[in-house]
Structure 1
Amino acid sequence: MSATASSSQPASPSPSPLHAVVADDFMAVNRTIIEQLASKIPLVETIGQYIIESGGKRLRPLLVLLAARSLGYDQDKHITLATLIEFMHTSTLLHDDVVDESHMRRGKKTANEAWGNAPSVLVGDFLYSRSFQMMVNVGSMRIMSILSSATCVIAEGEVQQLTNVGNPNISEAEYFETIQGKTAMLFEAASHSGAVLADATPEQESALQHYGRYLGLAFQLIDDLLDYQGDATTMGKNVGDDLAEGKPTLPLIHAMANGTPEQAKLIRQAIRQGGLDQLDAVLDIVNATGALEYTRARAEEMATKALEQLAIIPSSPYRDSMAELAHLAVDRKA
């Protein structure tokens, strides 16, 4: 391994009870991330480490660890599985930032801003490919089937989101279909594959699969709410970024459906044009129509459904942490 990748470990998430119950596993995941970033091409390691150190919560690998441990898994392949899930996620971030022409993520320059689009895309490809190498090492055809199918759904979700840009005619059902693909699918694959690794019963496997799905939906709904409520300091991105990109998210969909014809017309124009020229007027409409409250209510609905899935999982600190994750999904500010 070159000095670039071995000089430091990827930054761990801020300590919390959620991570504490799998603290040793999480340290092992960090070590495996470093090992798997190794490349004879220094730029691969530089960009890979940059994005992995950028301060994310690492919720998807955490889901793998918690799901497997909650069902009594006591071997070590969950470390490889959690790491490859993080690599899959990181590769999508690199690609997404290029597609969205993003300049900031989690309060730092995006990789494409720092190194350019081509290196970001290619390093994303490397991380994706490395994740499939690790998938083979896990040695489970069931898990390989789950994750390979998930990658197709995620890619379709990203394309669907791209085709939705600038289109104010997206329905709420179409919006949920999009976020199920682009966000919730990897949450679902993480908890589902962790359950399979632990030889879950069919009922437990289904419960943890759906737990991840509902958790991912709740997280994305709050992300979309915060785009009209948060600030750059806490979120690491600017208020109105989704509007600037012409993305018809749930707050705007609800506002158009429940505002006056004039208000709906203004939002439709803002989505078609992109940019932030009408941000203040859009924010006024979003607030006046209760769109943020509605979006939060839908997120809470998804979190409640996630919690319901845990009833079949044996009581343990791991299950408690999964329950706390569902609460965190809707209570967070960033």
Structure 2
Amino acid sequence: MTDFWNDEQELKEQLLHVSSTIENTVATAHGFIRPILLDHVQSVGKMLRPALVLITSALGEHSITEDAVRVGSVIELIHLASLVHDDIIDSASKRRGKSTVYAKVGAKQAVLAGDFLLAKALLLTSGKERGMDSRVVSAALSRLCESELDQDAGQGDFLISRHTYLRRIAGKTASLFALSCYSGVALQEAPPVKQMLCHRIGYCMGMAFQIQDDVLDYAGSSSKLGKQTGNDLKCGIPTLPLIYALDQEQRNGGAELRDLLLSSTVPLKEKTVKQALVLVESLGGVQKAEILAESYKMRALSDIKRLAHPQVERQLGNLFTKLSKRSV
């Protein structure tokens, strides 16, 4: 978490309980994989998803901190499992500057390690979570898996539509953000309308977050990101800046970027990646992607005001502010 939550000490304390819950859960792993998984879960980032559970759990009168910590731990474990699987798909040796599980033990063992985290997440659920609909949880997990499969199957296909990209990130990222915001308020047994509102806030927040993350892959700082810029491109994963750039190039009647990608094999050579990054920037792909990310952010902020809860509005608004300044 580093210092990300220093301005929210109560929330930071609760997130430390989430971290402890996750570490205690993973500590039951067998043999040589235990220290590797412990290192993986201890190197978590900002813990955004459990934070969203805890923040929206304030939208009611019940005392549910313990339940919110447990549900936040479940969602974070699912997220951590997806990162392990992501790194296998991307053949990534580093994440946030540290060696990945894939790099340490290879693809076969890493798949099993990710599956272990998913299994432990399911075991943490009691089946009696107050107010929560298990179908919402199942739908989020299903969308996550489907999106990972879709992205893996389409690796190297740079000519996807904006609709396909948005569908992928809706499942890959926004589904867990939506589940997180929904879970907190659902534990309070809030009215369905408020639950749906929080679900939509999380969805828009997740879409904005992932699009911005994809923008940073083209325009971010490698030292701050903890990974090389252009990594998705190198691995054959098309994201929004590229999609917008290819569309603009076609409108201009050109084909330099398109031909460059179609004549290359995955993984792309460093020289090809650098050429593509320059072309995407010059064609306005980064700028257009930033505009769409901002539109999702504004939708979320509009819905947050409808919650009519000053503390939650402040915390979510501050979160957006901090995320918009990251690693640029």
Q: Could you tell me which residue of structure 1 aligns to residue 248 of structure 2?
A: 258
Instruction: Flag the 1:77–1:228 CA change in 2: closer, same or farther, 3 A.
Output: same
Aligned 8 A contact 1:230 1:333 in 2? yes
- Report if the CA contact (8 A) 1:256-1:263 is conserved: no
The answer to whether structure 1 residue 162 and structure 2 residue 152 are counterparts is yes
Residue 131 to residue 18, structure 1, CA distance change in 2 (3 Å): farther
TM-score by length of structure 2 reads 0.91
Question: Partners of 1:175 and 1:216 in 2: how far apart?
Answer: 14
Separation (CA, whole Å) in 1 of partners of 2:31 and 2:318: 39
Q: How does 1:147-296 map to 2 (within 5 A)?
A: 147-259=137-249, 260=252, 261-269=254-262, 273-275=266-268, 276-296=270-290
C-alpha distance 211-271 of structure 1, shift in aligned 2 (>3 A): farther
Choose which of 98, 108, 111 in structure 2 pairs with 1:121. 111
Partner Cα distance (1:60, 1:199) in 2: 20
Partners of 1:69 and 1:141 in 2: CA distance? 14
User: Which residue number in structure 2 is paired with residue 62 of structure 1?
Assistant: 51
**1:126-158: per-residue Cα shift (whole Å, max 9, x none)?**
110111111225535734221122111100111
| Greater than 6 Å deviation, 4+ residue runs | none
Name the Cα RMSD after superposition. 2.0
Change (3 A) 1:315 1:271: farther
**Superposition TM-score, scaled by structure 1 size:** 0.90
Alpha carbons of structure 1 residues 24 and 239: separation in structure 2 relative to 1, 3 Å: closer
Structure 1 residues 106 and 40: CA distance shift in structure 2, 3 A: closer
**Aligned-residue offset at 1:229:** 1.1
Shift of 1:281: 1.9
Q: CA deviation at 1:267?
A: 4.7
Q: What secondary structure, in the 3-state scheme, does the structure 2 residue paired with 1:142 have? A: coil
**Residue identity opposite 1:303 in structure 2:** K
Indicate the residue corresponding to 1:331 in structure 2: 325
Measured in 2, the distance between the counterparts of 1:94 and 1:161 equals 15
Contact residue 47 and residue 123 of structure 1 kept, 8 A: no
Deviations 1:12-67 (A, max 9, x none): 44243564341332222122122222316133431221111224111011111111
Do the aligned residues in 2 keep the contact of 1:218 with 1:299 (CA within 8 Å)? yes
SS in 2 for 1:91: helix
* Preserved contact between residue 107 and residue 232 of structure 1 (Cα < 8 Å): no
Q: What is the letter of the counterpart of residue 259 of structure 2?
A: L
Mark the runs of 5 or more structure 1 residues left unpaired by the alignment: 1-11
Seq. identity, %: 27
- For residues 156 and 78 of structure 1, what CA distance do their matches in structure 2 show? 27
Q: Which moved more, 1:55-64 or 1:18-27?
A: 18-27
Q: Which residue of 2 aligns with 1:6?
A: none
